[in-house]
């Protein structure tokens, strides 16, 4: 049985009342994966903006009650914050595949492109201490309002994405495969987010699709994404 874990920042944990791209991916895996699987992780909540804390369990009203809530995602958390946690988390929850969307928070508040890429390497190394055969699918930093308004930040994002691609290529092994997903095609912050950064329903499908299509093409896992 494959055990998937979602790892990310505010775009992955989601806010109260949302579906989240995690839910869209779970739906896709249920429809396309030809073997048993589980969604695992130490956290279950969404972010409650009113409380300014990850304390909500209220997804969108039509979310299937069977949806497994487990994840390792946090509002305002990045590679810097999750790298020290990932090895023990992988070990405890026996994760086989990590679906990782991180980087925007790091670049926006904590580390430059080179430092962030170094934290990616630490994250991968630590994940492998938890499971030497762990597989990782990683999403680059996708379009966002800050990069749209700040050319210098856009340059930093582009530089990090280049370093991320190199890191994935350098550290990929047969025993512990790494996969860089492509940024969702035609991702438009005016139509695929509700605030220039966080995905709306359109964006959720595009993020899930980016991971699903990459895993299908590279690992023959599941099928091409269909909303």
d(CA 153, CA 156): 5
Residue 7: predicted pLDDT: 99
| Residues 68/73/76/78 CA torsion (nearest 10 deg) | -160
d(CA 71, CA 11): 12
Residue 15: predicted pLDDT: 98
How many Cα atoms within 13 Å fall on the side-chain side of residue 90? Answer: 26
Q: Which residues of the chain have pLDDT under 70?
A: none
CB atoms near residue 112 (< 10 Å): 12
Q: Decide: helix, strand or coil at residue 6.
A: strand
The pTM (predicted TM-score) of the whole model is 0.97
Contact 12, 20 (CB under 8 A): yes
Residue 4: predicted pLDDT: 98
d(CA 65, CA 76): 27
Residue 215: predicted pLDDT: 98
Residue 34: predicted pLDDT: 83
Q: Kindly report the CA angle at 194 between 193 and 199, in degrees rounded to 5?
A: 40
Q: Where is 99: in which H helix or E strand?
A: strand 97-101
- Domains of the chain from N-terminus onward: 2-219 (3.40.50.1110)
Q: Kindly report the CA angle at 77 between 75 and 78, in degrees rounded to 5?
A: 140
Q: Where is 137: in which H helix or E strand?
A: strand 135-139
Residue 80: predicted pLDDT: 98
Residue 134: predicted pLDDT: 98
Cβ neighbours for 192, distance < 8 A, ≥ 6 positions apart: 184, 199, 200, 202, 203, 206
Q: Decide: helix, strand or coil at residue 205.
A: helix
Residue 75: predicted pLDDT: 98
Residue 112: predicted pLDDT: 98
Q: Tokens 């405890």 appear where? A: 92
């Amino acid at each position: 049985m494959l055990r998937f874990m979602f790892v990310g920042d505010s775009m992955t944990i989601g806010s109260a009342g949302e579906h989240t791209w995690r839910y869209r991916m779970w739906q896709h895996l249920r429809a396309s994966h030809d073997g048993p699987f589980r969604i695992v992780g130490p956290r279950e909540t969404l972010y409650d903006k009113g409380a300014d804390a990850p304390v909500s369990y209220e997804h969108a009203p039509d979310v299937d009650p069977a949806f497994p809530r487990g994840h390792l995602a946090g509002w305002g958390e990045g590679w810097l914050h999750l790298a020290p946690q990932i090895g023990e988390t992988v070990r405890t929850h026996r994760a086989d595949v990590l679906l990782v969307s991180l980087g925007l928070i790091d670049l926006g508040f904590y580390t430059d492109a080179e430092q962030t890429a170094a934290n990616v390497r630490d994250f991968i190394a630590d994940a492998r201490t938890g499971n030497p055969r762990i597989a990782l699918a990683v999403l680059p930093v996708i379009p966002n309002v800050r990069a749209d308004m700040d050319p210098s930040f856009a340059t930093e994002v582009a530089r990090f994405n280049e370093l991320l691609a190199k890191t994935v290529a350098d550290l990929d092994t047969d025993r512990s495969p790494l996969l860089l997903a492509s940024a969702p095609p035609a991702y438009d912050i005016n139509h695929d987010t509700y605030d220039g950064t966080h995905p709306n329903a359109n964006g959720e499908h595009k993020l899930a699709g980016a991971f699903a299509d990459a895993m299908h093409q590279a690992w023959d896992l599941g099928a091409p994404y269909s909303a």
